[in-house]
Structure 1
Amino acid sequence: MRPSPRLVAALAALPLALAACGGGGAGSTPAAPPSIADASADNRPVKGGGTLNIALNADPDALDPSISTTLVGREVFANMCEKLYDIDATATLVPQLAGALPEVSEDGKEVTIKLKEGVKFNDGTALDAEAVKKSLDRHRTWEKSARQADLAAVTKVTVVDPATIKLTLDRAFTPLTAQLADRAGMIMSPKALDAGGDNFGASPVCAGPYKFASRTSGSQIVLEKAPDYYDAAKVKLDKLVYKIIVDPNVRAANLKSGDVQVADQLATTTVKGVQSDPNLTVVSGGGLGYYGITINTGNVTGSTEKPGAVSTALGKSPELREAFELALDRDMINKTVYNGLHEVDCFPVPLDSPYRAQDLRCPKRDLAKAKQLVQASGVAVPIAVTLTSPNDATNVRLAQVIQQMTKEAGFNVSVQTAEFVSTLEQGKSGKFDVMLNGWSGRVDPDGNLTNLVTSRGSNNYSGMSDPGIDDPIKQAAAESDPAKRAELYAGALQKAAELRGVLYLYHNKYYLGMSKKVAGVQYFKDGLPRFVTAGFAA
């Protein structure tokens, strides 16, 4: 359905502050930047020494792998806290702190992992099987841990010998290796855990190319080269300084001025301006995650608690949620807010995933049907909706576009902004009506689903709870055949699409701006810049 002239005019009239800095307004589409794998300049040799200043788009939550939930936190961890496994440039799972891929028993319930030998934590403590067991047990059993769902299938961690652990599972769980390639597989110094306890994140110690040095809340995080890293000769930089720069225009401006040499998650409206600077380059990563609109349908006392009845119009009525979705034009949102640089979709599994059924389809904007559903609901028009949005300029603009689109269908959306981390807290506690929220994505689809749409998942902010979602996702996790897994996921995704606890808008593409003086950066589909081989070009 074509958008109405009135809507086009309304969107055109919205503030274009995002485009004011860096060139390229909403109607100017830049060329899509290449992935890092295609950026041949990144293969240049680098010299030793120096400090790399990196702009982060938000302040991470606690730097504790057991409780962290933010993408920016994962960006810092990527260079400080290695995992048992990682992904490579092709998004293939590879060993990191493990010495090889896991050995899995025939029934899938015993997983044996050999560890890389000679590894030390950044405090000099040896990384052995006992240390791995201590971290994994903390991830899966600590009441504050956000990793419990990631490792829910694991019932026991056994030390076989100093270089081998065995995980006993209550069911076959194919996504386990992928979970161990993220925060659930990060191994923390047992010495630092004993010293820090619940406050480990204030002075974290892991095994990685850089070690934690200091943090000034809301300002910066400093990492220093780790002398005890097992491959320290590969690491060239002396120091990484992560600077918290929320405003996308300021982030781009600091990159242009040289105050920072790398800027994460460039706003799509600043990409063209950065690309046009002869001293800078832009590369793309990400695509595993998504962004969308979460509607509170049952989260009354917290996402991990039993769902209950909510009192809001959208929360009570699937038909009104359908009307809200049909008032949205995803393609126009992508073009108007993001210069067309994201990948439009209405499901949480990426379009190119082998676990994505090909027959999944997204609804187009249908304002006439949306109005019919609103009228049939019997709720007085305009229907009040409170939309919670992170307070950065890009999200505020997205909220304004949603506000204008849904107004035509009979909704009166008021936008409430808050700091990014505050919106996450509101999501967890259920203290919201509708909110803008995303997920950075995982290489195995279970990581985009179980914790986010199944009953009482820690990130299931909507509070959705339905066996038509839960059961096939659980069955798919026990299945090793990709085609069978895709079929099971398709059923769960269709059911979730009917309930509309989350209206997915697009898959995030991340754009990393860099000085051309910087080389050796690794930037993959998870959108996490890795600086283990980075430095200033020789």
Structure 2
Amino acid sequence: MQSARHLKLTVPLVALSLAAAACGGGGAPTSAPSVADATADNRTVQNGGTLTVALNADPDALDPSTATTLVGREVFVNMCEKLYDIDATSTLLPQLAAAMPQLSGDGKEVTIKLRTGLKFNDGTVLDAAAVKKSLDRHRSWEKSARQADLAAVTDVTTVGEDTVKLTLSRPATPLTAQLADRAGMIMSPKALDSEGDAFGANPVCVGPFKFSGRTSGSEIVLERAPDYYDAAKVKLDKLVYKIIVDPNVRAANLRSGDVQVGDQLATTTVAGVQSDPDLKVVSGGGLGYFGINVNIGNVAGSTEKYGSVDTALGKSPELREAFELALDRDAINKTVYNGLYESDCFPLPADSPYRAASLQCAPHDVAKAKQLVQASGVPAPIPVTLTTPNDATNQRLAQVIQQMTKEVGFDVKVETAEFVATLEQGGAGKYDTLLTGWSGRVDPDGNLTNIITTGGSNNYPGMSDPDIDEPIKQAAAATDTAERAELYAKAIQKAADLRGFIYLYHNKYYLGMHKNVAGVQYYKDGLPRFTTAGFTTK
């Protein structure tokens, strides 16, 4: 924990227009207002040109094995293709693979046929040996962040030049979805041999664009890849990612034309961008979530043995219930995010086929919250420390939480830290309550296993219960959607009762673009795809 970067801030109450917001917060999740769908824009684009894209943060190393950031995935999606991908309906489909995987009868052997004739962006041929080399690096390199993704894989073998076989320790239905993310990105074996651990400084994959250069904290440049197998679809000569952290500056650069695309527009800037006659806004995302971690057992690190936490919320499920009941999710959405997110109390989005109808949010209930606080015997006001990233939006959210919970008897003190520092605190268990989010995955296992099961690296609350762990484990081995949904419902409901994580909303992503930009694909994973993008001919 880098305590030198940690600043304590007791945020004063602010006069917020909560009364004007909806007074709900229970029942079905509320939906964000409609914004244009990027996939509906199929105008003809011209050949050539440079598209400049503003990112809201500087990605970590561009190494698929070690990368952990959402903005890194935004860059990868245009230069590092995977064995599988998703389409506009979030359906998994082959990308570098030639077909969906074939499973053995016991589900412990997965055979993947590869497309033939493909080349990496350094001209090296993609074959089974190259795929094995990347998968082995992902799953066994000590620095790899993909080990958990491929934990079920015990061996990768080649079958001729165009087939790989994965041997599993257990059936793993979510594996295909893992291979549609960084764990399925295949790297040039030539580049791996020459760059070694420094691969992320000069990455080479299969993709419509190839890495050209990077200035840390400033920009990342990709160029059209001449060896790409579908090169005729690619129109742009170059992609330039500009790092512009401040959301107002990002929107201003979009209006001025210094950038043609702005990612993850702050909800406070969406209306202004929409009002500009030369600009438009499209929406994506929705698979992820944001909320409040409550430390209930993380005393020595999320992957270490859990214990007893000596805080009011950590010791009392009833006080955690009171804390949640005090929160009006709809009012939070309208007050902090202009109603542009989707209020919810569970980790799976409302339209997920894996979300059982039995999962229902408890209504916002100040009276019941007060009763629970009074019955606890803990003298009010009950102290709670809330740690938040130090950006303006999260601090605003923290203020709203502070005000809402004060009404029922909590005294929330807000502490701010840099984003990375808050994650370090979460992993180490050095917090009381903590604001964090998750960008989301197509398969529900990616929103659950490593986050709410015992020993998961992202299980910051230290939740540990067999009624959570076992259903999730069983669901990962099941193939029937309805059966998996039923199992996930059991685990999710138990986690909801424990309240180690209090979900607030599913965050939508908003992409601002000049109206002369077309051909962008923007799906529920929130990753802008520029393979077919370009500038319109008119």
TM (norm. structure 1) is 0.92
SS at match of 2:17: helix
Residue 320 (str. 1) matches residue 323 (str. 2): no
- For the residues of structure 2 that align with 1:179 and 1:425, how far apart are their CA atoms? 24
1:244 corresponds in structure 2 to 243
Please say which of residues 135-144 and 353-362 is displaced more in the overlay: 135-144
2:233 corresponds in structure 1 to 234
1:55 corresponds in structure 2 to 54
**What letter matches 2:271 in structure 1?**
K
Please say which of residues 481-490 and 56-65 is displaced more in the overlay: 56-65
1:441 corresponds in structure 2 to 440
Where do 4+ consecutive residues of structure 1 move more than 4 Å?
none
SS at match of 1:86: strand
2:376 corresponds in structure 1 to 377
1:291 corresponds in structure 2 to 290
- For the residues of structure 2 that align with 1:222 and 1:367, how far apart are their CA atoms? 52
In structure 2, the CA distance between the partners of 1:217 and 1:385, relative to structure 1 (3 Å rule), is farther
- For the residues of structure 1 that align with 2:390 and 2:242, how far apart are their CA atoms? 18
Please say which of residues 518-527 and 60-69 is displaced more in the overlay: 60-69
- For the residues of structure 2 that align with 1:309 and 1:59, how far apart are their CA atoms? 37
1:410-431, Cα deviation, whole Å (9 max, x unpaired): 2222222233233223322323
SS at match of 2:350: coil
1:5-32, Cα deviation, whole Å (9 max, x unpaired): xxx9832399xxxxxxxxxxxxxx9952
Contact 1:296 1:315 in 2 (8 A): yes
Please say which of residues 373-382 and 348-357 is displaced more in the overlay: 373-382
- Quote the offset at 1:55 in angstroms: 1.2
In structure 2, the CA distance between the partners of 1:272 and 1:494, relative to structure 1 (3 Å rule), is same
1:364 corresponds in structure 2 to 363
1:3 corresponds in structure 2 to none
- For the residues of structure 2 that align with 1:96 and 1:168, how far apart are their CA atoms? 21
1:484 corresponds in structure 2 to 483
Please say which of residues 397-406 and 371-380 is displaced more in the overlay: 371-380
SS at match of 1:470: helix
- Quote the offset at 1:145 in angstroms: 2.2
1:21 corresponds in structure 2 to none
Q: Where do 5+ consecutive residues of structure 1 fail to align?
A: 1-7, 15-28
- Quote the offset at 1:80 in angstroms: 1.4
- For the residues of structure 2 that align with 1:30 and 1:321, how far apart are their CA atoms? 27
- For the residues of structure 2 that align with 1:523 and 1:255, how far apart are their CA atoms? 18
1:357-397, Cα deviation, whole Å (9 max, x unpaired): 00211122222222232233333432222222222222121
Q: Where do 5+ consecutive residues of structure 2 fail to align?
A: 1-12, 20-30
1:32 corresponds in structure 2 to 34
Contact 2:295 2:433 in 1 (8 A): yes
2:179 corresponds in structure 1 to 180
In structure 2, the CA distance between the partners of 1:364 and 1:93, relative to structure 1 (3 Å rule), is same
- Quote the offset at 1:123 in angstroms: 2.1
Contact 1:153 1:171 in 2 (8 A): yes
In structure 2, the CA distance between the partners of 1:30 and 1:358, relative to structure 1 (3 Å rule), is closer
Q: 2:16 aligns with which of 11, 16, 41?
A: 11
In structure 2, the CA distance between the partners of 1:61 and 1:434, relative to structure 1 (3 Å rule), is farther
- For the residues of structure 1 that align with 2:305 and 2:503, how far apart are their CA atoms? 24
1:455 corresponds in structure 2 to 454
- Within a 5 Å distance, the mapping from 1:208-219 to structure 2 comes to 208-219=207-218
In structure 2, the CA distance between the partners of 1:9 and 1:190, relative to structure 1 (3 Å rule), is closer
- Quote the offset at 1:480 in angstroms: 0.9
SS at match of 2:16: helix
Contact 1:61 1:421 in 2 (8 A): no
The number of residues matched between the two structures is: 515
- The CA RMSD over aligned residues, in Å, is 2.0
SS at match of 1:172: coil
Please say which of residues 407-416 and 522-531 is displaced more in the overlay: 407-416
2:222 corresponds in structure 1 to 223
Residue 146 (str. 1) matches residue 145 (str. 2): yes
- Quote the offset at 1:158 in angstroms: 0.8
SS at match of 1:161: coil
- Quote the offset at 1:226 in angstroms: 1.8
Q: Could you tell me the percent identity over the aligned residues?
A: 77
Please say which of residues 204-213 and 282-291 is displaced more in the overlay: 204-213
- For the residues of structure 1 that align with 2:216 and 2:430, how far apart are their CA atoms? 25
Contact 1:30 1:271 in 2 (8 A): no
Contact 1:53 1:243 in 2 (8 A): yes
Contact 1:81 1:206 in 2 (8 A): yes
- Within a 5 Å distance, the mapping from 1:499-510 to structure 2 comes to 499-510=498-509
In structure 2, the CA distance between the partners of 1:435 and 1:9, relative to structure 1 (3 Å rule), is closer
- Within a 5 Å distance, the mapping from 1:39-438 to structure 2 comes to 39=40, 42-438=41-437
SS at match of 1:205: coil
SS at match of 1:487: helix
- For the residues of structure 2 that align with 1:300 and 1:192, how far apart are their CA atoms? 41
Contact 2:33 2:339 in 1 (8 A): no
